[in-house]
Structure 1
Amino acid sequence: MLCLFCAIARAQVPTENSLLWEITGPGLSKPSYLFGTIHLICPTDFSLSDSLKSTLSRTQQVALEMDMDDPGMMAGMMKTMNMAAGNELKKLVTEQEYQRLDRFFKDSVHVGLAMFERAKPFVLMGPLFSSVLDCQPESYEMRLVEMAGKQKSEVIGIETLEEQMAIFDTIPYKDQAKMLLTLIDSLPSARKEFKTLVALYKAQNINELYRMTLKSEFGMEGNEEVMLFARNRKWVPRIGRIATEKPTFFAVGAAHLGGEKGVIALLRKEGYRVRAMK
């Protein structure tokens, strides 16, 4: 029975290299679609296929991880970005480490750490990505919001901003600060890793992308359950409910798609047919 269970679990794992998937099955009168994004990427590596544009035009709404079209998003971010219980970055690192971080932010982001003193350290990773990418990055999510607006499709979120920001209260703040220091101290390694991730993304190899993301020392290692697996389990029933209401174009980080605990495998376990598209 155990061997049979393992075989069934493996059978649900996607084997095709694709970022775009069609969802059909129980309760769905029309297909919905699932697309794997990479949240930030250099413009030279950014592309939207004709197939993606075509499937988007056949849907009535776009569902991102969060509602990026919400006019209250910035105000919500300001309310949820700070650490709990009056924590401050200076309490999480040594004075020397703090000075190193402050100097790096001033040199790279042109802003000192004072305005981010109480922010969850993971929030500070965002501004540093320009240093890792060495370019002014493009966003798939924002481009999809733009395209949805042109075809008058509603943009919604699979989870709320509050839910996403609460994740960073479950990971010890000191661990987050350590990841921040690791990133600025290992920029050549970070650039090399991200270059490999981009190559896998462009090759649409979601399983290898998933495996490499789990091993990354710049954020995921040791945090797989809260950042990937638990969210995938939470998302699947929501995806099913949203797709039942109207044909939807879902777009989530590509690392959420692959593996036995990924969104595709979980949707298949619920009886949905999830088919790779080119």
Structure 2
Amino acid sequence: MATPGWGVTLIWLLLGLTWLLPVGAEAQGRLWRISAAGVEPSYLFGTMHSEHPEVTRLPPAVERAFVGSERLVLEMVLDQTAMLSTAQAGLFESGRDLEDVLPPALYRRTVEAMADYGVPEPVLRRFKPWMIFSTLMLPRSRTGMFLDLRLYQQAVAADKPVAGLETAAEQIAVFDGMSMADQISILRDTLDNLERFDAWFEEMRRVYLSGDLDALARFSDGMMSDIDPALAQRFQRRFVSERNHRMVERLQPLLRQGGAFVAVGALHLPGEDGIIALLREAGYEVRREE
């Protein structure tokens, strides 16, 4: 069975950008130093859900910040329990299946698309639409070792404490709390654009590596310009505002301990509701390191 990717991170990259306000020339770079009086500095690193070597290979400044940190902070602790919870939540309970909720033509398109991922129709019937579109949006995995997971495993190997800013249940709820109509709408749009995702993801990787978050936002604006405005508004609230405010609130006690290396999706960083701005509003000095 194909396993779902860490869809929250990817949906943030593919959809969340649509509602970022222009972030300006200051929002350049992936590594940021967080300072406050009386505590050791912490670092904020913007990641991308990718297993490409250019992404998973840390620049020297990032490597030094990570190795020198006392603890790793991720959006979510990426342990086996979280992975199993995500996979289980993406399945219909008995008595209902995918064919019950999709129009016949869309169902057949979905079966054909997921066959390319090695998912046979009897298995696919149990998948909820959000589990399917989060899988289809990801490039086919070769190693499964995307950047956040690599950081997590390196921290565990070094006996470095790992903390999560959200629980698996909270990240699952972002998807599972969507109406079935919204899930179906996104699935249809995903299938309509399926042949373009590899090229989009490649361009996104290139811009991410440049560290130009503003350019990344502009790229996504063009990529997702045809999304339904009402759906976009709902996503803005669920995927951007609510999550960023929650993560910053939970991050601050860890920052007061000092020495944290915080790794979250790169586009949680910029914008008026971005982590950088929210930390500054809370009184922290946040400046670019790399």
**What is the TM-score of this pair, normalised by structure 1?**
0.83
Offset of residue 82 of structure 1: 3.7
Query: Kindly tell me: are residues 173 and 243 of structure 1, through their superposed partners in 2, closer, same or farther at Cα, counting changes over 3 Å?
Result: same
Task: Note closer, same or farther for the CA distance 1:202–1:179 as it changes in structure 2 (3 Å cut).
Answer: same
More deviation in 193-202 or 229-238? 193-202
Distance 2:241 2:260 in 1: 22
Task: Give the paired residue count.
Answer: 264
Q: CA offset at residue 191 of structure 1?
A: 2.9
- Are 1:264 and 2:269 matched, yes or no? no
8 Å CA contact retained: 2:50, 2:56: no
Q: Map Cα deviations across residues 187-212 of structure 1 (whole Å, 9 max, x no partner).
A: 23323332332121011111332344
Gaps of 5+ in 2: 1-20
| 1:39 counterpart letter in structure 2 | H
* Secondary structure of the structure 2 residue equivalent to 1:66: coil
1:211/1:265 Cα in 2 relative to 1: closer, same or farther (>3 Å)?
farther
| Alpha-carbon offset, residue 122 of structure 1 | 2.0
Summarize the Cα distance change of 1:128–1:276 in structure 2 as closer, same or farther, 3 Å threshold: same
SS of the residue 2:211 aligns to: coil
Cα 1:42–1:196, aligned 2, differ >3 Å: closer, same or farther? same
Match of 1:117 among 125, 135, 143: 125
1:143-182 alignment to 2 at 5 Å? 143-182=150-189
Residue from 81, 89, 92 that aligns with 2:98: 89
Pair 1:18 & 2:25 matched: no
Tell me, yes or no, if the aligned pair for 1:41 and 1:139 is still in contact at 8 Å: yes
C-alpha distance in 2, partners of 1:87/1:242?
43
Residue number among 84, 98, 114 corresponding to 1:75 in the alignment: 84
Matched, 1:275 2:283: no
TM superposition outliers: structure 1 runs of 4+ over 6 Å:
none
Please state how far the C-alpha of 1:261 moved relative to its aligned partner.
1.2
Deviation at 1:14, TM superposition (A): 7.1
- One-letter amino acid of the structure 1 residue matched with residue 105 of structure 2: Q
In the other structure, the counterpart of 1:48 is 58
Does structure 2 retain, via aligned residues, the 8 Å contact 1:103–1:112? no
Q: CA RMSD in A?
A: 2.9
Tell me the equivalent position of 2:257: 245
- Find the residue that maps to 1:72 and give its secondary structure: helix
> What is the aligned partner in structure 2 of residue 6 from structure 1?
none
1:191 aligns with 2:198: yes
- Matched letter for residue 217 of structure 2: Y
Unpaired runs of 5+ residues, structure 1, are 1-9
Secondary structure in 2 matching 1:124:
helix
Counterpart Cα distance in 1 of 2:161 and 2:84: 21
Distance 1:136 1:71 in 2: 16
Sequence identity (%): 27
Distance 1:181 1:36 in 2: 30
1:229, distance to aligned residue in structure 2 (A): 1.6
Over 3 Å counting, the alpha-carbon distance change for 1:112 and 1:98 in structure 2 is same
CA distance in 1, matches of 2:279, 2:50: 26
